[in-house]
């Protein structure tokens, strides 16, 4: 009986060994030698480091873009000083109630109620009003929402009256 058990044990072991060796499906198996896998891993790690560096550089560039946007908010461009064209005024919204616009009450250079008000631009970044007196553009206000900067331009005399951050 011991002989039968020994033969059965040997046969079972042999069949397991042959079954393991007989699997020839290598579709999902990585046959790359161990040293190549290590090099691939190191290369992948290097690539990750390069990508992290590039991401950091992009973040820094975005921050400097934001800084330059804020700096440019302080500057007064030729576009800021220019009158609105007829097309802009025609498509602009006429506003008669100025109380909801905090920037208009923050200035004391003119009384908005004495003029015809045109809301030329009102987007998440800025709001631009043009004020007319008898059909002639008199004042232009540019309110930069993110920085609370208000620019007031006297269009009749081509002068900058205000360029300050308001409360």
β-bridge partners, 132: 116, 137
pTM summary value? 0.57
The predicted-structure confidence for 34-82, as pLDDT tens digits, reads as follows: 555 555 555 545 545 444 544 444 444 444 344 444 446 678 888 889 9
**155 pLDDT band (50/70/90 cuts)?**
very high
Q: Cα separation of 161 and 109, whole Å?
A: 8
Between 65 and 13, residue with greater pLDDT? 13
Least confident of 1-15, 70-84, 148-162: 1-15
Strands across the sheet with 116-122, in order?
93-95, 116-122, 126-133, 136-144, 149-154, 159-165
Cα 35 from chain centre:
43
Q: Long-range contacts for 115-120 (Cβ within 8 Å, ≥24 apart)?
A: 115/139, 118/84, 118/88, 118/89, 118/92, 118/93, 118/94, 119/92, 119/93, 119/94, 119/95, 120/84, 120/88, 120/89, 120/92
More confident residue, 16 or 106: 106
Residue 26 predicted with pLDDT over 60: no
Distance CA 97, CA 113 (A): 8
Higher pLDDT, 23 or 50: 23
* Model pLDDT for residues 108-134, shown as the tens digit of each residue: 999 999 999 999 999 999 999 999 999
Domain ranges across the chain: 37-74, 77-165
């Amino acid at each position: 009986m011991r002989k039968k058990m020994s033969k059965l044990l040997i046969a079972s072991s042999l069949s397991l060994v042959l079954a393991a060796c007989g699997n020839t499906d290598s579709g999902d198996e990585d046959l790359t030698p161990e040293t190549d896998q290590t090099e691939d891993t190191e290369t992948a790690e290097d690539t990750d480091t390069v990508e992290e560096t590039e991401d950091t550089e992009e973040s820094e560039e975005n921050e400097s873009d934001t800084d330059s946007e804020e700096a440019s908010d302080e500057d007064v461009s030729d576009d800021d000083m220019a009158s609105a064209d007829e097309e802009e005024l025609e498509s602009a919204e006429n506003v008669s109630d100025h109380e909801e616009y905090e920037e208009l009450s923050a200035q004391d250079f003119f009384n908005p109620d004495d003029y015809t008000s045109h809301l030329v631009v009102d987007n998440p970044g800025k709001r631009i009003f043009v004020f007319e007196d008898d059909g002639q553009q008199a004042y232009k206000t540019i309110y930069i929402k993110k920085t609370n900067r208000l620019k007031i331009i006297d269009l009749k005399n081509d002068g900058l009256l205000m360029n300050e951050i308001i409360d």
